[in-house]
Amino acid sequence: MTPKTRSIVYITSGLVAGVLLVTGISLKKIDPGATPVDVSADGRLQYRWYAPALPKSIDFAGESVPLEKWEVKEKLDRELLVNSYLHGSQLYIMKLAGRYFPIIEERLKANGIPDDFKFVCVAESALNQNAVSGVGASSFWQFMKETGPGYGLEVNDEVDERFNVVKATDAACKYFQTAYAKFGTWTAAAASYNCGMQGYTNQSDFQQATNYYDLIFPDETNRYVYRILALKYIFTHQKDFGLTLDASEEYKPLKYRTVEVDRTVENLTEFAKANGSTYKMLKIYNPWLRAHKLTVKAGKKYQVAFPL
């Protein structure tokens, strides 16, 4: 097909699609004010954007959100407005959820943490295993380099378990368990993941209140739990937000076999080839490997994944 012919086909297709859309709208017996698209006198389309309807009730980890308070309701409204029309981003996260939610959900359950905390992971990293913030917080749960080891993660120039979804989720669970024991609610535990346990305590002590919804924080923490709630609501009411994703379109969990490594590997490319794979696949399946070699100290062992 020549460029000229291709252009004619594209233009014709666009005109046909436009006519069909306008015809479809005109044939529907709907109040014009309620239609999603207006057609101006010159034939241009103008989409109408609507504020999403607020839920009548919502909870986080079984803890009710006091929507009867006007300022609580407005904060949730803000986060729903901000997040509702990010269709491309939301659909991509939903595709990634097919790969990572089964793993995250299993580890949350195994550690006695409510399932809603998977949306904390979404809020933190959008399920992007390579997410790195401006201050160096990394991967799924956005642990800082200095913080990760305190929750059982190995973090150095060659191995960074913040990029291991299983181990990082277990580490996050340790934090949530400690925070819940300290504050007594899962909502406070989630909020403190943003501002730190000491940060939450400082605000709670000064304001003489413990309930997250009765406290005021710096803006990021003020919005944090509401963003998690908005993500939960959008994910659990996808079609209400115009998000249509068939299960077959979700990314599937990676299938792999593991190789136990108990001695230093000087060259990971050669190691990958010796195991019937490539350096690229080795890094995709093991994002926690951060260098070209793997130093294994005496008595230490690593489980390295390879595609089946």
What digits encode the pLDDT tens for the residues 161-183?
A: 999 999 999 999 999 999 999 99
Tens of pLDDT, residues 55-96? 999 999 999 999 999 999 999 999 999 999 999 999 999 999
Position 301: which residue type?
Answer: K
Distance, C-alpha 235 to centroid of its chain:
11
Q: Alpha carbon of 271 to those of 21, 100, 155: distances in Å?
A: 56, 27, 22
Block residue for tokens 């017996």: 29
Burial 38-47 (b: 16+ CB within 10 A, else e): ebeeeeeeee
Distance of alpha carbon 167 from alpha carbon 154, whole angstroms: 10
Residue 200 has pLDDT above 80, yes or no: yes
Burial 181-198 (b: 16+ CB within 10 A, else e): eebebbbbbbbbbbbebe
Q: What is the pLDDT of residue 41?
A: 80
59-249 maps to which CATH number? 1.10.530.10
Residue 10 has pLDDT above 50, yes or no: no
Tens of pLDDT, residues 130-146? 999 999 999 999 999 99
pLDDT band at 107 (very low <50, low <70, confident <90, very high): very high
Torsion angles phi and psi, residue 256, rounded to 5: -150, 165
DSSP bridge pairs for 60: 63
Domain locations along the chain: 3-47, 59-249, 256-307
Distance of alpha carbon 214 from alpha carbon 220, whole angstroms: 16
pTM value?
A: 0.85
